[in-house]
Structures are given as C-alpha cells and as structure tokens.
C-alpha cells in the first residue's frame, strides 16, 4: 500500500522523514540483493562504463534527490507499476520505496559468491539518502567481509559516517561522487535536494585521508543555459575544483536524453527550446580532456553520439 508518509519499514534505528511532497511506501525485495548490471566494460558485456564488474546492489525504488536529468525514472514508469504501484507515476524525485523485508534479504544473500567481484552501489538510486543510509552500512557490513568489492556512488554527505567501516577494506572500495556543475544557480535548478558541489568534493578529501581510492563523475555537463551561459568555463571550474584531490578515476559525460528527463529539464529551466546536440557532446568532450591535461589529470568521456 502506498502512503504519503514515511515508508512502513523497520529501520535499523530512528526513522528519518522523507522531504515534503515525496510519496513513501514499501515493496518485497527478492534474493539475492546483488544483481547483473550493464554499467561495466564492454569486455564484461556492458556499455563501456567501468563502474563495476557487471554487478549492482540496489535496495530502493526512487530517489528523493530529485535530479531532473536522471535516467532511471523511465525504467520504473515503464516496468515497475505492476510491482511497485502507482507511486512510480509521481514526478521523479517524489517517490521513495524501501523493501519491507530488506534485513532478511541482506542476511540471505550469499555474498561470498561475489568474492573478488566489484558491484556498483547503487545504479538506480543514491545509496546514502537519509532514509536508507543505515541500510547501506548494513549491506556493506555483510558483503565486505565476504570479499565483495564496491564502487560506492553518491551525491550525499552521509557516506562520511561510514568511512570508519570502508577504511578497513581499502582494496575493496572506491568511493565516487557526481558533480554536474560548479554554478550554484544551475545546481539549484537541476539537483534541488543535493548538497553543494564543494561539500561533495570534501567527501573525497576525507576518503583519501583514510586510504580509499576515490573517483568523480563530472556529469551531466549541460549546454549553455541562462543560469550558466559558459559551459566551457564551468568545465574548467570543475577541473580546477578536483585538481588538488587528484582522483584515481575521472569520468565525464554531457546530458544524455532519456525518458522524461528532457521534459523535466525544460520545465525546471523554464526553457522549452533547451536541447543537446552531437556537436556539443563532441566539443565539450575536447574541453574535458584539455582541462584535465592542463592540471596533470586524465579521464574517460562517455560519448552519447
């Protein structure tokens, strides 16, 4: 049953309320919790994004960050209504469902089968959203001792609370954050519930201090818009911001149009003519590589076209 309140699940400790307007609820997860993923190299049968060895750990449906550019909403709206209910028909960012049986699924997943394999945590939601951050730790506590490796991908600051755990497994964890822009005016429009870019970069600094590999995804890079006309200057600012961190991995991509994200972006930017072209994708990729080279870094660009 879907309710406009906190999900009716038993959390490991005190409940955290969802943001106003976000529909919460629950569903029944299946075993095992770790599943195949295409976010890996082409050699592993994936799409060429080296974010895993072909595995992912997702433990929620929806994401309360509300980033209008996200690709995931189309998946839930196309395939998830029968299983998850009408909540997934809400605007992306306004539904958040957590398994009612998550503790049991964690305990019954045979994590040792994936010893030495890297899984992405997570590919369809941020694992460190306030309502599920403590579940992320419980999963890591179960999987890391069994040898599972993780690419932990987040825009949240709450992962800092788990650095004590992650630091015990430095060869099994890389921690990555995503940053779309250094321009706060644009950031407030396209990722309204996400901490500022500077705060996310500080997460990487703290992670490096405890010995973890760190990465950053500079994405999605938007074409010129009224809130931030200079796209190339924004990429330069992004690279300058990560230069002193010296990330072990740097990835980048322009905005990729998927599902309803272009409509949501136009709505949030109040620009019904906003679009992305192959020319922009190729041009901003050149800027990305040139700016990284300027500061002594290298990275991988994920082309759309």
List CB contacts of 190: < 8 A, sequence separation 6 or more. 67, 68, 69, 180, 181, 222, 265, 268, 269
Are residues 135 and 98 in contact, defined by beta-carbon separation less than 8 angstroms? yes
CATH 3.80.30.30 maps onto the chain at 182-305
The class of domain 182-305 in CATH terms is alpha beta
Q: Return all residues near 154 (Cβ < 8 A) that are at least 6 apart.
A: 126, 127, 128, 175, 176, 177, 178, 203
Q: What is the pLDDT of residues 188-241, one digit of tens each?
A: 999 989 999 999 999 999 999 999 999 999 999 999 999 999 999 999 999 999
Residue 115 is predicted with a pLDDT of 98
pLDDT at residue 119, rounded to an integer: 98
DSSP assignment of the chain: --BSSS-SS--SSS--PPPTT-EEEEE---S-SEEE-S-S-GGGTS-S--SSSSEEE---EE-TT--TT-STHHHHHHH-HHHH-GGGGSPTTSEEEEETTHHHHHHHS-GGGGTT-EEEE-SSS-TT-TTTHHHHHHHHHHHGGGT-EEEEEES-SGGGGGHHHHTT-TTTEEEEEEE--S-HHHHHHHSTTS--HHHHHHHHHHHHHTT-EEEEEEEEEPPPBTTB--HHHHHHHHHHHHHTT--SEEEEEE----TTHHHHHHHHHT-TT----HHHHHHHHHHHHHHHHHTT---EE----
> What's the predicted TM-score (pTM) here?
0.90
pLDDT for position 66: 85
C-beta separation of 238 from 179 below 8 A = yes
How high is the pLDDT of residue 1? 37
Which residues of the chain are modeled with pLDDT < 70? 1-16, 305
Residue-wise pLDDT tens digits, 131-159: 999 999 999 999 999 999 999 999 999 99
Write out the DSSP string of 54-91: SEEE---EE-TT--TT-STHHHHHHH-HHHH-GGGGSP
Angle of the 197-209 helix axis to the 231-243 helix axis, nearest 10: 30
- With contact defined as beta carbons under 8 Å apart, do 52 and 119 qualify? yes
């Amino acid at each position: 049953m879907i309710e406009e309140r906190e999900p009716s699940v038993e959390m490991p400790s005190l409940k955290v309320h969802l943001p106003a307007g976000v529909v919460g609820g629950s569903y029944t997860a299946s075993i095992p919790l770790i599943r195949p993923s295409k976010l890996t190299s082409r050699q592993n049968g994936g799409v060429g994004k080296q974010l895993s060895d072909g595995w992912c750990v997702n433990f929620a449906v929806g994401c309360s960050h509300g980033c209008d550019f996200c690709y995931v909403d189309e998946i839930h709206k196309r395939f998830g209504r029968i299983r998850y209910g009408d909540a997934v028909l809400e605007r992306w960012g306004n539904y958040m469902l957590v398994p009612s049986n998550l503790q049991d699924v964690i305990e019954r997943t045979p994590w040792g089968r994936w010893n030495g394999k890297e899984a992405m945590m997570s590919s369809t939601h941020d694992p460190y959203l306030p309502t599920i951050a403590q579940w992320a730790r419980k999963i890591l506590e179960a999987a890391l001792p069994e040898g599972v490796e993780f690419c932990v991908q987040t825009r949240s600051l709450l992962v800092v609370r788990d650095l004590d755990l992650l630091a015990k497994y430095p060869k099994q964890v890389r921690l990555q954050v995503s940053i779309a822009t250094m321009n706060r005016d644009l950031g407030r429009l396209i990722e309204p519930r996400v901490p500022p870019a500077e705060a996310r970069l500080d997460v990487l600094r703290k992670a490096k201090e405890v010995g973890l590999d760190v990465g950053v995804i500079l994405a999605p890079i938007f074409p010129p818009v009224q809130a931030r006309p200079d796209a190339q200057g924004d990429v330069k600012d992004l690279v300058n911001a990560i230069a002193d961190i010296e990330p072990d991995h740097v990835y980048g991509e322009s905005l990729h149009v998927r599902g309803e994200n272009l409509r949501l972006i136009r709505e949030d930017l109040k620009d019904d003519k906003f679009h992305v072209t192959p020319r922009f994708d190729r041009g901003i990729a050149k800027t990305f590589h040139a700016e990284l080279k300027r500061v002594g870094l290298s990275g991988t660009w994920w082309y759309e076209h």
